[in-house]
Amino acid sequence: MRHYAAYGSNLDPARMRAYCPYSPMIGTGWLEGWRLTFAGEDVLGWEGSVTTIVESPGDRVFVALYDVHPNDEKQLDEVEGALAGTYQKLHLRVATLDGDATAWVYVFNGYEGGLPTAWYLAEIANAAAKAGAPADYLDALRARPTKTAMP
Protein backbone atom coordinates (compact mmCIF):
# COMPACT_ATOMS: atom_id res chain seq x y z
CA MET A 1 0.00 0.00 0.00
CA ARG A 2 1.08 3.55 -0.74
CA HIS A 3 -0.61 6.02 1.58
CA TYR A 4 -1.00 9.72 0.95
CA ALA A 5 -2.04 12.17 3.69
CA ALA A 6 -4.03 15.10 2.27
CA TYR A 7 -4.15 18.24 4.40
CA GLY A 8 -5.26 21.13 2.15
CA SER A 9 -7.87 21.30 -0.58
CA ASN A 10 -7.21 17.60 -1.30
CA LEU A 11 -9.14 16.83 1.88
CA ASP A 12 -12.23 17.05 -0.35
CA PRO A 13 -13.10 13.45 -1.34
CA ALA A 14 -14.69 14.58 -4.65
CA ARG A 15 -11.54 16.47 -5.63
CA MET A 16 -9.40 13.42 -4.88
CA ARG A 17 -11.74 11.14 -6.86
CA ALA A 18 -11.22 13.43 -9.86
CA TYR A 19 -7.42 13.33 -9.50
CA CYS A 20 -7.07 9.74 -8.32
CA PRO A 21 -10.06 7.61 -9.40
CA TYR A 22 -8.40 4.33 -8.32
CA SER A 23 -7.37 5.51 -4.87
CA PRO A 24 -9.94 5.25 -2.07
CA MET A 25 -9.98 7.31 1.09
CA ILE A 26 -9.21 4.89 3.92
CA GLY A 27 -9.56 7.12 6.95
CA THR A 28 -8.47 10.26 8.71
CA GLY A 29 -5.81 11.12 11.24
CA TRP A 30 -3.38 13.71 12.53
CA LEU A 31 0.15 14.79 11.75
CA GLU A 32 1.38 15.34 15.30
CA GLY A 33 4.15 17.92 15.68
CA TRP A 34 3.27 19.72 12.43
CA ARG A 35 1.44 22.98 11.71
CA LEU A 36 -0.59 24.04 8.68
CA THR A 37 0.78 27.23 7.16
CA PHE A 38 1.11 29.05 3.85
CA ALA A 39 3.98 29.84 1.51
CA GLY A 40 5.01 30.69 -2.01
CA GLU A 41 3.09 33.86 -2.80
CA ASP A 42 6.15 35.82 -3.91
CA VAL A 43 7.72 32.82 -5.64
CA LEU A 44 4.72 31.50 -7.56
CA GLY A 45 3.20 34.83 -8.55
CA TRP A 46 -0.28 33.73 -7.54
CA GLU A 47 -2.91 35.88 -5.85
CA GLY A 48 -2.01 34.43 -2.45
CA SER A 49 0.04 31.80 -0.71
CA VAL A 50 -0.58 28.04 -0.92
CA THR A 51 -0.83 25.46 1.85
CA THR A 52 2.13 23.66 3.26
CA ILE A 53 3.13 22.23 6.62
CA VAL A 54 6.09 22.87 8.89
CA GLU A 55 7.38 21.05 11.95
CA SER A 56 5.97 22.59 15.10
CA PRO A 57 6.06 20.68 18.41
CA GLY A 58 2.69 20.68 20.15
CA ASP A 59 0.69 21.40 17.00
CA ARG A 60 -1.11 19.01 14.70
CA VAL A 61 -2.70 18.93 11.25
CA PHE A 62 -5.86 17.03 10.31
CA VAL A 63 -5.40 14.73 7.29
CA ALA A 64 -7.36 12.34 5.12
CA LEU A 65 -5.53 9.11 4.25
CA TYR A 66 -5.72 7.64 0.76
CA ASP A 67 -4.51 4.27 -0.48
CA VAL A 68 -2.96 5.47 -3.74
CA HIS A 69 -2.71 3.35 -6.87
CA PRO A 70 0.67 3.76 -8.67
CA ASN A 71 -0.96 5.31 -11.75
CA ASP A 72 -2.81 7.81 -9.59
CA GLU A 73 0.41 8.67 -7.76
CA LYS A 74 1.99 9.88 -11.02
CA GLN A 75 -1.05 12.05 -11.72
CA LEU A 76 -1.03 13.46 -8.18
CA ASP A 77 2.71 14.20 -8.34
CA GLU A 78 2.09 16.24 -11.47
CA VAL A 79 -0.97 18.08 -10.14
CA GLU A 80 0.74 18.88 -6.83
CA GLY A 81 3.88 20.24 -8.47
CA ALA A 82 6.26 17.53 -7.24
CA LEU A 83 7.52 16.91 -10.76
CA ALA A 84 8.19 20.63 -11.29
CA GLY A 85 9.98 20.96 -7.95
CA THR A 86 7.36 23.24 -6.36
CA TYR A 87 6.58 20.65 -3.70
CA GLN A 88 8.63 17.79 -2.33
CA LYS A 89 7.38 14.51 -0.91
CA LEU A 90 8.06 13.63 2.70
CA HIS A 91 7.12 10.39 4.44
CA LEU A 92 5.60 11.02 7.86
CA ARG A 93 3.82 9.18 10.63
CA VAL A 94 0.05 9.73 10.81
CA ALA A 95 -1.78 9.08 14.09
CA THR A 96 -5.12 7.33 13.44
CA LEU A 97 -7.70 5.65 15.64
CA ASP A 98 -6.34 2.32 14.37
CA GLY A 99 -2.73 3.16 15.25
CA ASP A 100 0.07 4.90 13.41
CA ALA A 101 0.44 4.72 9.64
CA THR A 102 3.15 5.99 7.33
CA ALA A 103 2.10 8.26 4.49
CA TRP A 104 3.61 10.82 2.19
CA VAL A 105 2.71 14.49 2.15
CA TYR A 106 3.61 17.28 -0.24
CA VAL A 107 5.57 20.11 1.40
CA PHE A 108 6.26 23.42 -0.33
CA ASN A 109 9.88 23.64 -1.45
CA GLY A 110 10.62 27.08 -0.03
CA TYR A 111 10.07 29.33 2.91
CA GLU A 112 6.92 29.81 4.96
CA GLY A 113 5.19 33.17 4.63
CA GLY A 114 2.36 35.11 3.08
CA LEU A 115 -1.39 34.84 3.36
CA PRO A 116 -3.94 32.86 1.38
CA THR A 117 -6.83 34.49 -0.41
CA ALA A 118 -10.16 34.32 1.38
CA TRP A 119 -11.50 32.12 -1.43
CA TYR A 120 -8.64 29.63 -1.05
CA LEU A 121 -8.95 29.47 2.74
CA ALA A 122 -12.70 28.83 2.38
CA GLU A 123 -11.94 25.99 -0.07
CA ILE A 124 -9.56 24.40 2.42
CA ALA A 125 -12.04 24.73 5.30
CA ASN A 126 -14.88 23.29 3.19
CA ALA A 127 -12.65 20.39 2.11
CA ALA A 128 -11.72 19.71 5.75
CA ALA A 129 -15.40 19.70 6.72
CA LYS A 130 -16.20 17.20 3.95
CA ALA A 131 -13.42 14.92 5.23
CA GLY A 132 -14.81 15.02 8.77
CA ALA A 133 -12.48 17.44 10.54
CA PRO A 134 -13.64 18.32 14.08
CA ALA A 135 -15.45 21.61 14.69
CA ASP A 136 -12.63 23.22 16.70
CA TYR A 137 -10.16 22.56 13.87
CA LEU A 138 -12.59 24.05 11.33
CA ASP A 139 -13.22 27.11 13.52
CA ALA A 140 -9.49 27.76 13.90
CA LEU A 141 -8.95 27.31 10.17
CA ARG A 142 -11.77 29.69 9.22
CA ALA A 143 -10.49 32.32 11.70
CA ARG A 144 -7.07 32.57 10.03
CA PRO A 145 -6.12 35.89 8.41
CA THR A 146 -6.39 36.20 4.65
CA LYS A 147 -4.95 38.50 2.00
CA THR A 148 -8.37 39.38 0.60
CA ALA A 149 -11.79 39.89 2.14
CA MET A 150 -14.43 37.17 2.03
CA PRO A 151 -16.70 37.56 -1.04
4 annotated ligand binder:
yes
DSSP H or E run through 77: helix 70-79
Question: In order of start, what are the domains of the chain with their CATH numbers?
Answer: 3-130 (3.10.490.10)
Q: Is residue 90 over pLDDT 90?
A: yes
- pTM of the entire predicted model: 0.92
Q: How far apart are CA 9 and CA 126, in angstroms?
A: 8
**Residue-wise pLDDT tens digits, 9-18:** 999 999 999 9
**Residue-wise pLDDT tens digits, 19-53:** 999 999 999 999 999 999 999 876 655 678 999 99
Looking at the DSSP assignment, which residues form a beta bridge with residue 103?
92
19 annotated ligand binder:
no
% the chain with pLDDT above 90: 77
Annotated catalytic residue 80: yes
Q: Which of 32, 47, 55, 80 is catalytic?
A: 80
